[in-house]
C-alpha cells in the first residue's frame, strides 16, 4: 500500500514538473494555430508583427517568403527572386556544377551579372494553400477495415483530393497526415523549376569545421548560399530558358544588420523533416538497441571508404562530395541520438509516460474498451518488426549505397517493359546521371565492404544471395572470397562503363537479363521483395495503431496546445536567442565571432582560413558589420528554436519580420530532440546575417547582390530595390 502511494506521488510530481517547467517555445506548430499561441508573451520578448502578418490564408504574409528547396528550406530576400539558404542545402547543385577546372566547392562562386547565374536541377516550392481535409480523407475508411486496406483507401482518397484540387492549374497539391493520421491537411504549392546558383562562398567559409564541428557548438561556419528562382516571361513556372525572368515573390524578407541581444525574440518558418515525439516505448527501445546502432555501423563503413578515396583523388572528392556529406551527417546525427537517448534515459521517460497514459485509459470503461490494448498491440507489432529489421536496414544500405545496383535495376526494369526509343532515351539519361558521379574502384570497394557487413547479420536474417558467396568462411578467407567475387562481377558485366551500358542497350532485353550484374541485382531484389512486403504490412498495422494512440493522447491532454510531429510540411517555431549550460561548470555563449574562426585555424582541412579573410580580421576591416558589444564580426548564434532536419536554410526572423540569420544545425547535447525536446539543452545554430553581409561585401565585393537586398541598420534601410514590408503586396 505504501509502495503504491509513493508511486502515485512520484507520478503526480513528475506530471506537475512537466507542466510547471514546460517551455512554451517547444513546438513545430501548424500555421493555422499561430493565433492560438501565447502572442502576448511573444510580444514581451520583441514580437511586433500580428499573427495575420505572420500567416494569413487570404492575403500576403510572412509565409509567402518561405520556400521548400531541395532537401531544405530557403527564403526570398529580394523583389527579384533571390533566395538565401545554407551552403549545405545548395551543396548538391554546387557539386554538380564543379569539376577540376571549375571547382566551385573549393573556390566558391559569384555571378556578377544575371547571365552568369548557373542553372541547377533544384525546384522551389511556395505554399499557396493550407486546408483541413480530415473529413474527406477519413470518409474512405471504417473501423472494420484491415490495416492494409485502410492504408490503401487513405492513399487512394488522398490522390483523388489532390487531383481534384489541381484541376487544370499549374499548382502542385499534397495531402499530409497530422498527429499520426488523426487528421489530414491539403497543401498547395507553386512549383518553380528554373532555379539558378548566384553565390556560394568557398568551402573554407561555407563548410568551415566540416564534419569535425558538425552538430557542435561553438560553431564558426558561414553556411549560406544564394540562389534565384525564375519563371517564364508570362510569370508562370517554366523550364530553364534564356528568356525566363526572375520570379517576383509576394513577400520577401529585409535583412537586419542591427543584430540582437541574448533574450531577443526569434522565430522560424520552414519545412522540418521527421520527428518521433509521440512514439511508443517499444519503438524507442527497438531504435535504441537495434535500428540506430546498425545504421551507424553501416554508414560509418560507407563514409570511411568514400572519405579515404576522396583524400587520394580530388576528382573522386568532387564526384562523391554530396554523398559523403549526406552519409556523414546522418551518421553523426544517429550517433548523437543514441548518446542522447542513453544520457536522458529516454526509455524510462517513455515508460513512465505510458504508465500515466494507462491510468487515464483505465479511468473509464469506455476508454479502456477503446484504447486499453493499444500499448500491447504496438509492442507486438514492434516485436514482429524485430524479426526482419536488421535485414531490412542492411538491404536498404546495400541497394542505396552501391550505384551499380541501381544502374542494374534500371536496366532490368527496361528489359521487363516497353523498349521503344522513348524508353531508351530515359535509360540513357539515367546512365549519364549515374556515371557523372561514379568511380569504379570506389564502387567495388563499397560493395565488398557491404557484403562483408552482411555476413555479420544474425543467422535468421542473412541475405542468402550473399551467403552463397562467402559460405561458412571466416576472417581472411571470407575477405578473399568476397573480394574475388566482386572483382569477377565487375570484369564480366557490361554495366560498369557508359560504353558498356550503350552496348548492352543495343543488344536488347535478352542480353540484359543475362548480364552478370543484372543477375546479381535480381537475386538481391528477390530477397528484398518479401522484406519490403513485411515492412509495408508492419507500417500499415503500426500506422493504424499510432493514429488511435495519438487520438487517445489528444483526449488525455484535452485543453492543451499540442503540435503534431514534423512531416516535411511548413511549420512555425518561436523562442529567444539564448545561451545554455551543457554540463557542470560549463556555459556556452549565444554568439561566436570571427576571432573564434582564427582560433580554430590550422593548415589542414576543414580548418583552413582563406588568406583574404584572415587579412580582413587582422586589419579589423569589418565595415559596418561588427557586433557593437564585442567589436567583432558575429559568425553564428544559438536560439531555443525547435527545428530538425529539413529546417536547414530556414530563415531566423526577428520580431519585425527581418532576417537575422539562417538556421543550419543543432547542438550535440540535443540531437535526441527528434524524440524528446529538452528546453534547457535544445538549441538551433544559425549563421548570422551580418556575417553573410560581411562575406558578400568585404570578402567578395558582391555589390550587385547587396544592391538587391533591403538591409536594415536598426531603423534605417539601405537598398536600391523596391521594398515590400511583411504583409503587403
Backbone angles phi, psi at 173, to 5 degrees: -125, 140
Which run of H or E residues covers position 106? Answer: helix 104-107
Question: Which residues, 6 or more positions from 116, have their beta carbon under 8 angstroms from its beta carbon?
Answer: none
Which run of H or E residues covers position 329? Answer: helix 321-344
Give the gyration radius of the chain's Cα atoms.
Answer: 27
Q: Give me the helices (H) in 345-439, please.
A: 346-361, 365-371, 374-386, 389-401, 403-416, 421-436
DSSP string of 177-196, one letter each residue: EEGGGTEEEEEEEEEE-EEE
Give catalytic status of residue 146 as yes or no. no
d(CA 267, CA 257): 17
CB 596 within 8 A of CB 220: yes
Q: Within 10 A of 540 (CB to CB), how many other CB atoms are there?
A: 19
401-436 burial, b at 16+ Cβ within 10 Å, e below that, comes to bbbbbebbbbbbebbeeeeeeeeeeebeebbeebbe
d(CA 59, CA 52): 9
- 3-state percent breakdown (helix, strand, coil) of the chain, nearest 5: 50, 15, 35
d(CA 349, CA 351): 6
d(CA 180, CA 551): 9
Which run of H or E residues covers position 651? Answer: strand 651-653
Give catalytic status of residue 648 as yes or no. yes
All cell numbers assigned to 689: 546575417
If DSSP codes are grouped into helix, strand and coil, which group holds residue 382? helix
Q: Give me the helices (H) in 658-714, please.
A: 689-694, 703-706
**If you search the block for the grid coordinates 545554455, which residue do you land on?**
580
Give catalytic status of residue 487 as yes or no. no
Pairing of strands 225-231, 194-200: antiparallel
Task: Point out the catalytic residue in the list 103, 223, 353, 632.
Answer: 223
Q: What are the C-alpha distances in Å from 187 to residues 183, 184, 305, 568?
A: 13, 10, 41, 11
Pairing of strands 659-666, 684-688: antiparallel
Long-range contacts of 324-332 (CB under 8 A, 24+ apart): 325/88, 325/91, 325/211, 327/299, 327/302, 327/303, 328/211, 328/214, 328/299, 328/303, 329/88, 329/211, 329/214, 330/295, 330/299, 331/296, 331/299, 331/300, 331/303, 332/211, 332/214, 332/215
Task: Point out the catalytic residue in the list 180, 183, 291, 648.
Answer: 648
Task: Point out the catalytic residue in the list 25, 61, 88, 439.
Answer: 88
All cell numbers assigned to 573: 517555431
DSSP string of 363-375, one letter each residue: TSHHHHHHHTTHH
Q: Within 10 A of 341 (CB to CB), how many other CB atoms are there?
A: 23
Q: What is the DSSP letter of 663?
A: E
All cell numbers assigned to 186: 491539403
Nearest one of 498, 522, 64 to 250, comparing CA atoms: 64
Backbone angles phi, psi at 232, to 5 degrees: -70, 170
Which are the catalytic amino acids?
Answer: 88, 223, 648
Amino acid at each position: 500500500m505504501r509502495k503504491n502511494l509513493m508511486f502515485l506521488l512520484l507520478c503526480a510530481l513528475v506530471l506537475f514538473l512537466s507542466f510547471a517547467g514546460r517551455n512554451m517555445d517547444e513546438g513545430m506548430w501548424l500555421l493555422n494555430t499561430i493565433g492560438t499561441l501565447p502572442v502576448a508573451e511573444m510580444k514581451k520578448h520583441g514580437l511586433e508583427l500580428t499573427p495575420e502578418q505572420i500567416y494569413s490564408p487570404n492575403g500576403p504574409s510572412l509565409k509567402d517568403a518561405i520556400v521548400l528547396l531541395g532537401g531544405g528550406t530557403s527564403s526570398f530576400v529580394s523583389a527579384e527572386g533571390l533566395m538565401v539558404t545554407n551552403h549545405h542545402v545548395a551543396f548538391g547543385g554546387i557539386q554538380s556544377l564543379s569539376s577540376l577546372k571549375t571547382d566551385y566547392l573549393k573556390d566558391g562562386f559569384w555571378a556578377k551579372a544575371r547571365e552568369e547565374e548557373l542553372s541547377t536541377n533544384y525546384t522551389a516550392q511556395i505554399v499557396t494553400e493550407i486546408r483541413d481535409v480530415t473529413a474527406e480523407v477519413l470518409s474512405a475508411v471504417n473501423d472494420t477495415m484491415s490495416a492494409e486496406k485502410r492504408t490503401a483507401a487513405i492513399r487512394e482518397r488522398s490522390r483523388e483530393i489532390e487531383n481534384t484540387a489541381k484541376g487544370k492549374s499549374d499548382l502542385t497539391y499534397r495531402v499530409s497526415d497530422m498527429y499520426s493520421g488523426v487528421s489530414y491537411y491539403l497543401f498547395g504549392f507553386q512549383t518553380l523549376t528554373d532555379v539558378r546558383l548566384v553565390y556560394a562562398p568557398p568551402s573554407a567559409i561555407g563548410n568551415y569545421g566540416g564534419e569535425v564541428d558538425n552538430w557542435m557548438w561553438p560553431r564558426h561556419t558561414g553556411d549560406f548560399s544564394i540562389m534565384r528562382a525564375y519563371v517564364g516571361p508570362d510569370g508562370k513556372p517554366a523550364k530553364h530558358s534564356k528568356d525566363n525572368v526572375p520570379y517576383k515573390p509576394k513577400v520577401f524578407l529585409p535583412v537586419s544588420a542591427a543584430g540582437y541581444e541574448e533574450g531577443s525574440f526569434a522565430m522560424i518558418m520552414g519545412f522540418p523533416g521527421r520527428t518521433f515525439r509521440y512514439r511508443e516505448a517499444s519503438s524507442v527501445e527497438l531504435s535504441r538497441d537495434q535500428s540506430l546502432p546498425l545504421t551507424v555501423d553501416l554508414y560509418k563503413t560507407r563514409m570511411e571508404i568514400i572519405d579515404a578515396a576522396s583524400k587520394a583523388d580530388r576528382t573522386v572528392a568532387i564526384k562523391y562530395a554530396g554523398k559523403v556529406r549526406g552519409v556523414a551527417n546522418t551518421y553523426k546525427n544517429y550517433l548523437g541520438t543514441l548518446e542522447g537517448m542513453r544520457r536522458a534515459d529516454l526509455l524510462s521517460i517513455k515508460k513512465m509516460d505510458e504508465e500515466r497514459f494507462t491510468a487515464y485509459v483505465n479511468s473509464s470503461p469506455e476508454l479502456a474498451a477503446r484504447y486499453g490494448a493499444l500499448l500491447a498491440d504496438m509492442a507486438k507489432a514492434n516485436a514482429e518488426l524485430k524479426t526482419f529489421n536488421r535485414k531490412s536496414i542492411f538491404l536498404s544500405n546495400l541497394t542505396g549505397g552501391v550505384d551499380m545496383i541501381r544502374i542494374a535495376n534500371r536496366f532490368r526494369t527496361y528489359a521487363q517493359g516497353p523498349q521503344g526509343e522513348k524508353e531508351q532515351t530515359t535509360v540513357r539519361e539515367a546512365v549519364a546521371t549515374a556515371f557523372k558521379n561514379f568511380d569504379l574502384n570506389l564502387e567495388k570497394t563499397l560493395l565488398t565492404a557491404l557484403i562483408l557487413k552482411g555476413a555479420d547479420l544474425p543467422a535468421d536474417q542473412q541475405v542468402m544471395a550473399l551467403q552463397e558467396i562467402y559460405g561458412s568462411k571466416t576472417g581472411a578467407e571470407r575477405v578473399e572470397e568476397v573480394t574475388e567475387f566482386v572483382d569477377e562481377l565487375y570484369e564480366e558485366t557490361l554495366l560498369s562503363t557508359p560504353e558498356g551500358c550503350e552496348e548492352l542497350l543495343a543488344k536488347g532485353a535478352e542480353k540484359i537479363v543475362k548480364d552478370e550484374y543484372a543477375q546479381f541485382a535480381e537475386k538481391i531484389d528477390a530477397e528484398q521483395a518479401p522484406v519490403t512486403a513485411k515492412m509495408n504490412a508492419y507500417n500499415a498495422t503500426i500506422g493504424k495503431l499510432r493514429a488511435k494512440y495519438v487520438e487517445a493522447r489528444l483526449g488525455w491532454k484535452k485543453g492543451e496546445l499540442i503540435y503534431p510531429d514534423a512531416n516535411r510540411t511548413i511549420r512555425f517555431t518561436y523562442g529567444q536567442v539564448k545561451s545554455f549550460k551543457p554540463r557542470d561548470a560549463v556555459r556556452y555563449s549565444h554568439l561566436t565571432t570571427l576571432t573564434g574562426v582564427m582560433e580554430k585555424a590550422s593548415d589542414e582541412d576543414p580548418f583552413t582560413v582563406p588568406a583574404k579573410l584572415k587579412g580582413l580580421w587582422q586589419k579589423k576591416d569589418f565595415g559596418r558589420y561588427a557586433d557593437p558589444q564585442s567589436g567583432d564580426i558575429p559568425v553564428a548564434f544559438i536560439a531555443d528554436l525547435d527545428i530538425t532536419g529539413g529546417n536547414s536554410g530556414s530563415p531566423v526572423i526577428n520580431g519585425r519580420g527581418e532576417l537575422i540569420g539562417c538556421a543550419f544545425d543543432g547542438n550535440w547535447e540535443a540531437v535526441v530532440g527528434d524524440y524528446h525536446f529538452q528546453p534547457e539543452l535544445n538549441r538551433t545554430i544559425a549563421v548570422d546575417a551580418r556575417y553573410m553581409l560581411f562575406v558578400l561585401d568585404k570578402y567578395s565585393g558582391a555589390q550587385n547582390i547587396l544592391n538587391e537586398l533591403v538591409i536594415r541598420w536598426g531603423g534605417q534601410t539601405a537598398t536600391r530595390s523596391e521594398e515590400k514590408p511583411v504583409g503587403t503586396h
